[in-house]
Amino acid sequence: MGCELFLCATPIGNLDDMTFRAVEVLKGVDFIAAEDTRHTRKLLAHFDIHTPLIHYDENNKSTVGKKIIARLLEGESAACVTDAGTPAISDPGADLVRLALEHNIKIVPIPGACAAINALIASGLETGSFIFVGFLPNKNFSDRLQALKDRRETLIFYEAPHRLQRTLENLFEAFGARRVTLARELTKIHEEFIRGQLGSIELDAPRGEFVIVVEGAPEAMVENFIDSDVLTIYNRLIDEGVERKEAMRRTAKQFGLSRRDVYQMTVKETEPE
Please tell me which of 192-196, 202-206, 244-248 the model is most confident about, judged by mean pLDDT: 192-196
- Between β-strands 210-214 and 179-184, what pairing exists: parallel, antiparallel or unpaired? antiparallel
- Between β-strands 106-110 and 78-81, what pairing exists: parallel, antiparallel or unpaired? unpaired
Domain that holds residue 67: 4-113
From 91, 113, 135, give the residue that closes a domain. 113
Q: In terms of domains, do 163 and 204 share one?
A: yes
Query: Domain with 128 in it: what CATH number?
Result: 3.30.950.10
Is 235 among the domain residues? yes
From 113, 130, 162, give the residue that closes a domain. 113
Is 222 among the domain residues? no
pLDDT score of 223 more than 90: no
Distance CA 79, CA 68 (A): 10
Q: What pLDDT, in 10s, does the model give residues 80-128?
A: 999 999 999 988 999 999 999 999 999 999 999 999 999 999 999 999 9
pTM score of the predicted model:
0.79
Q: In terms of domains, do 127 and 210 share one?
A: yes
Query: Domain with 54 in it: what CATH number?
Result: 3.40.1010.10
Q: In terms of domains, do 33 and 53 share one?
A: yes
Given this model, what pLDDT does residue 232 score? Answer: 85
Domain total for the chain? 3
Average pLDDT estimate for 48-68: 96
Distance CA 170, CA 204 (A): 17
The proportion of the chain whose per-residue pLDDT surpasses 70, expressed as a percent, equals 94
- Between β-strands 78-81 and 31-34, what pairing exists: parallel, antiparallel or unpaired? parallel
Given this model, what pLDDT does residue 221 score? Answer: 37
- pLDDT tier at 23, thresholds 50, 70, 90: very high
- pLDDT tier at 222, thresholds 50, 70, 90: very low
- pLDDT tier at 262, thresholds 50, 70, 90: confident
pLDDT score of 154 more than 60: yes
Is 231 among the domain residues? yes
Q: Nearest 5°: CA angle at 131, between 8 and 141?
A: 105
Cα within 13 Å of Cα(201), Cβ side: 26
pLDDT score of 46 more than 80: yes
Given this model, what pLDDT does residue 225 score? Answer: 56
